[in-house]
Amino acid sequence: MSIRWPAEAIWEAVVPLLPGFTVEILPQVDSTNTELMRRARTGQLEPILLVAERQTAGRGRLGRDWQSGASGGKRSDPHGEAPEGLSALTFSLGLPLQPADWSGLSLAVGLAVVQSLHPALQLKWPNDVWLHERKVAGILIETTSVGEVRYCVIGIGINLLPRDSAGLRTPAAALNEVLPDADAPGTLEALVLPLVGAVKAFETEGFAALRADFHARDLLYGREVICTDGTTGVARGVDASGALLVHTASGMQKISSAEVSVRPVPGTAAPTKP
Ligand code: BTN
């Protein structure tokens, strides 16, 4: 299978924002995040988009695995053919970054993903992307300091076609539920420039100005939630730093730890948003 990636078009669009930017497509790697973190630690600190057609050891948040089908997804075709394509898009953006305050970066990234792909996509704090009450994409952000430089790796995995949900904590959704023609190259092209723009804007402006936009896509707003740190209550959006606000029996709690995972109580739909 040979995939036509829009590497040149992406490079041309992004390089004015990120001088020295390159695009690299690999048929296979353990994990695009692991690879860019490895490279950064050996001093390769230029901005790069690294796409893998297959990951053998994809990683998720909280030390979890990220499994994505390699290829072979069949998509329906108006001409009766069933061309093969990747069933997931997996890539990482690596770049030096120096915001005054890092809090809220993962929310800003999630927002760029949902805003650039489809109006039905929602965010589950801090940065899972959900569709139709199921997870459709995940984001893993890691940083490393090399000398004076803080290098940031933003990894994104998006299910394009339905996948086997066996063993998953959350059943999976697929982007083709709302974008039947979505393929990996087109989805990448739609996403990368807005993502880079959002990350650069975050670097200078921080998260606070994005709060209302986050609330517009907030899956949890107004719903009963359970957090892995034991907090239960009604989600009330995020504060200016991106911390989750949960109205509990003992008052409003702020959850900012990336180690905490939150889920909506099944069957509770959001009432109204601010
Ligand atoms: C999560 O939902 O827990 C985050 C999943 C992040 C997966 C992406 S796929 C590309 C990049 N490489 C990885 O190993 N992980 C991220």
Which pLDDT value is given to residue 74?
A: 43
Tell me the pairing of strands 48-52 and 22-26.
Answer: parallel
Residue 254 Cα to ligand 1 middle (Å): 26
Q: Locate tokens 């606000």: which residue?
A: 245
170 lines ligand 1 (CB under 6 A): no
Which pLDDT value is given to residue 84?
A: 62
Whether 49 contacts 23, CB under 8 Å: yes
pLDDT in tens, 43-81: 999 999 999 999 999 999 988 899 875 444 444 444 433
Counting ligand 1 atoms within 8 A of each CB, the residue from 39, 55, 66, 130 with the most, and so the one to mutate, is 66
Which pLDDT value is given to residue 261?
A: 87
How far apart, in whole angstroms, are the C-alpha atoms of residue 274 and residue 271? 10
Q: Domains of the chain, with CATH numbers?
A: 7-206 (3.30.930.10), 220-264 (2.30.30.100)
Number of helices (H), then strands (E), belonging to the chain: the values are 5, 14
CA 122, 237, 153: angle at the middle one, nearest 5? 60
Nearest alpha-carbon partner for 36 in 127, 150, 145, 155: 155
142 lines ligand 1 (CB under 6 A): no
How far apart, in whole angstroms, are the C-alpha atoms of residue 113 and residue 141? 14
Which pLDDT value is given to residue 69?
A: 56
Which pLDDT value is given to residue 270?
A: 63
Helix (H), strand (E) at residue 158: strand 149-159
How far apart, in whole angstroms, are the C-alpha atoms of residue 34 and residue 37? 5
Lowest mean pLDDT among 73-87, 122-136, 212-226, 227-241: 73-87
Which pLDDT value is given to residue 24?
A: 98
Backbone angles phi, psi at 15, to 5 degrees: -60, -30
